[in-house]
């Protein structure tokens, strides 16, 4: 079985939750964590000691150590992070909505390379019910 390598962008509470969930999934390994906060990176890194640490998502993407990425950073960062991820063939799960308004989401999803992603590359979002209130 091939191992699916995950990167976690944002290692606060939601990033840690995704790391814990992925640790119970067969065939999955968290290989990288990106967060500008050293304390968050260290805390999350204790759960996956072999994961590489990055201070930003750009470096994680550039190192090519992941097959899939979970975007668990604060909502206001999603547009920039997703714009960069859409220029890759990485599978992407955004832990919340892409952007606070549809016009911003459209700009994010209108990456110059968004239409050239590999047909097998997944882009998904998971919205928490608390966001719907």
* CATH number for domain 4-132, candidates 3.40.50.1820, 3.20.20.140, 3.40.50.720, 3.90.480.20: 3.40.50.720
Per-residue model confidence as pLDDT tens digits over 42-89: 999 999 999 999 999 999 999 999 999 999 998 888 788 988 898 888
Q: Of 109, 103, 113, 107, give the one whose Cα is nearest residue 125.
A: 109
Task: List the alpha helices (DSSP H) in the chain.
Answer: 13-22, 38-45, 57-63, 78-85, 102-109
| Alpha carbon distances (Å) from 16 to 9, 46, 81, 125 | 10, 10, 18, 17
Two tokens at 115? Answer: 């239409």
Q: pTM to 2 decimals?
A: 0.81
Domain extent listing, the chain:
4-132
pLDDT at 118: 61
Per-residue model confidence as pLDDT tens digits over 87-133: 888 999 886 655 555 555 555 555 555 555 565 665 656 555 554 44
Residue 9's pLDDT band (boundaries 50, 70, 90)? very high
Rounded CA Rg of the chain: 14
Two tokens at 23? Answer: 């640790």
Q: What are phi and psi of 72, to 5 degrees?
A: -120, 20
């Amino acid at each position: 079985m091939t191992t699916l390598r995950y990167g976690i962008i944002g290692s606060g509470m939601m990033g840690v939750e995704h790391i814990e969930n992925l640790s119970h999934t067969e065939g999955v390994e968290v290989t990288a964590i990106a967060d500008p906060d050293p304390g968050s990176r260290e805390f999350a890194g204790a759960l996956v000691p072999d994961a590489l640490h990055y201070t930003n998502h750009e470096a994680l993407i550039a190192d090519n150590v992941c097959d899939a990425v979970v975007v668990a950073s604060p909502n206001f960062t999603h547009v920039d992070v997703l714009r960069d991820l859409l220029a890759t063939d990485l599978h992407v799960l955004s832990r919340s909505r892409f952007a606070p308004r549809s016009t911003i989401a459209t700009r994010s999803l209108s990456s110059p390379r968004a239409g050239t992603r590999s047909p097998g590359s997944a882009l998904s979002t998971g919205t928490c019910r608390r966001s719907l209130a």
